[in-house]
Structure 1
Amino acid sequence: MTDAAWKPRLIALDVDGTLLDPATQEVSAVVKAAVRSAVEAGAQVVVSTGRSLLGTAPILDELGLTSGVALCSNGAVLVDAATREALSVQTFEPAPVLAELARRLPGAIFATEALGVGSLVTTKFHEHQLHGPQQLATLDELVSGPVPRLIANWVDHEPAEVVDELTGVRLPHCTFTLDHYEPWVTVVPEGVTKGAALEKVRTEFGIAREDTFAAGDGDNDIEMLRWAAHGVAMGQAPETVRAAADEVTGTVTEDGLAAALNRLFR
């Protein structure tokens, strides 16, 4: 921003790789303080994550966010930050998507989100990958009804292999993003992105487009960074994400988010 006095009124923050360091699985005290300063200055902070509702609630607790909303499952689930209850949920039929992913990613394991309960999984995921209880299920059980989110984890492969396999592919009636930390795919309903969900939040809150800020580091943050009046990519973000941002800050291990926020909210 060219205006040194500019302070955003709506701040959208990714979790893993932005607020939270994947290496430590912690939000640093420096980042917490920076978020707190923004809230105290009157900004509406919206945690915007690919995590489920169960994985998002502990982050809201750590940041002390008890008002407004949060976006989970890449925008498919809108949550009341005070009550931690879902205000709206968008879903899709996972069967055709799972069939196509199973064909393209042989040996992948799958999970579908059971809202507020946990996940149905074909094989147990690591605890840091999925949050809440994991219940073993057959493929038929996974696709027995509509879901807000489906995960495919191509175990024993590199993230770049998933990118090579799925770049340019269209999966039926859904939106999907790829991960640069894990060899996996996150699938949500068609047209659902963090950016689209945040535009609805911005409109409902009556906040001007020019008063929006977002920070993230992953493919699922690209639309959010483009949506914001000022988008900040984390230093470790891949070039595709950095290209969508107005600014590149330090890495998550360097508390890059805190540096970007503290410049605005001293």
Structure 2
Amino acid sequence: MNWRPHLVALDIDGTLTPVGSNDIAPAVKAAITRVTEHGSHVVLCTGRSLIGTTPIAAQLPASFAVCSNGAVWWDPVKNEVTKRTTFDPGPTVKTLQALLPGAVFAVEQTGVGNLSLGDFLPGDLWGVTSNATFDEIAATPTPRLVMRWLDRTPAELSFAVKDLELPGIEWSVDHTEAWLTAVPQNVTKGSALDELTRELGISAEDALAIGDGSNDVEMLKWAGLGIAMGQAPAHVQSEADSVAPTVLEDGAAQVLERFFPA
């Protein structure tokens, strides 16, 4: 194959690392380094907040990071947030509270941590977490709202929200935890990459994207070549052009080796 992507967009959890971990396998690090050595851009595209993304960016030669499912853009070289899109979380929290008793919520405070309504599990949230009232959360415009439905499975959450309508926001459900992420309307990893690449003068046809979650679907569909990880749910794999080995098999490194050989 003669085609070589000018930009590589990489999800983090379930693609570069096991979910929730900051540990990147040596083979994956080496493969990403080769991408930049060949002159292509590496963009981290994650549902993580900025403060959850920085430990990953510190290990890689990424030229840009799209955090919070596209709502926060960060330049690792300048250590600067270049774009931040927010929404008012109150109506969404109120709707989800009525539908999902026992759910806990947190709104991102970019670069700091979160305000939480209820207690999350240890390790759930990045940065400093401060307890807040509903009124305090409702009064805090945020790029990212997360919700965990305590003591429930991902399947139970997916079923409970199958007919859910949340006007004015984009939302996705995780396939490994009973976890929902909400961001502003028309904000996705795909929309952020589309805007970013136009600024860089790179077309979608020259981009490779790798991911494993529902929040990666728009990114995989946008890219000239979208590849789902081997452990991704069937509906994510069906939207991809091909399927890689799993994250535990260093699937991302195996994909990159095809285009950026050692």
| TM-score, reference length from structure 2 | 0.97
Deviation at 1:138, TM superposition (A): 1.2
Of 46, 51, 73 in structure 2, the residue corresponding to residue 54 of structure 1 is: 51
Partner residue in 2 for 1:14:
11
Give CA-to-partner distance per residue, 1:177-229, whole Å, 9 cap, x none: 00011101000001100000000011000012211110000000000000000
Question: Conserved in 1, the CA contact under 8 Å of 2:210 and 2:227?
Answer: yes
Question: Conserved in 1, the CA contact under 8 Å of 2:103 and 2:148?
Answer: yes
Are residues 1:135 and 2:118 paired?
no
Give CA-to-partner distance per residue, 1:94-126, whole Å, 9 cap, x none: 111000011111100000001111100123434
Deviation beyond 6 Å, 4+ runs, structure 1: none
For the residue of structure 1 that corresponds to 2:102, the secondary structure is coil
Deviation at 1:256, TM superposition (A): 0.5
Query: Which letter maps to 1:130?
Result: L
For the residue of structure 2 that corresponds to 1:164, the secondary structure is helix
How many residue pairs match? The answer is: 261
Partner Cα distance (2:257, 2:43) in 1? 17
Partner residue in 2 for 1:150:
145
Partner Cα distance (2:21, 2:188) in 1? 27
Deviation at 1:53, TM superposition (A): 0.5
Deviation at 1:58, TM superposition (A): 0.8
Partner Cα distance (1:200, 1:89) in 2? 13
Query: Which letter maps to 2:68?
Result: S
Partner residue in 2 for 1:259:
254
Q: Percent identity?
A: 46
Are residues 1:29 and 2:46 paired?
no
For the residue of structure 1 that corresponds to 2:240, the secondary structure is coil
Return 166-175 or 35-44, whichever deviates more: 166-175
Residue ranges of structure 2 left out of the alignment (5+ in a row) = none
Partner residue in 2 for 1:114:
109
Of 176, 179, 184 in structure 2, the residue corresponding to residue 184 of structure 1 is: 179
RMSD over aligned CA atoms reads: 1.2
Question: Conserved in 1, the CA contact under 8 Å of 2:13 and 2:20?
Answer: no
Of 230, 234, 238 in structure 2, the residue corresponding to residue 235 of structure 1 is: 230
CA 1:117–1:25: 2 relative to 1, 3 Å: closer
Partner Cα distance (1:43, 1:252) in 2? 22
Question: Conserved in 2, the CA contact under 8 Å of 1:12 and 1:48?
Answer: yes
- Show the 5 A alignment for 1:192-203: 192-203=187-198
Partner residue in 1 for 2:67:
72
Partner Cα distance (1:125, 1:102) in 2? 15
For the residue of structure 2 that corresponds to 1:54, the secondary structure is helix
Query: Which letter maps to 1:92?
Result: F
Deviation at 1:5, TM superposition (A): 1.4
Query: Which letter maps to 1:202?
Result: T
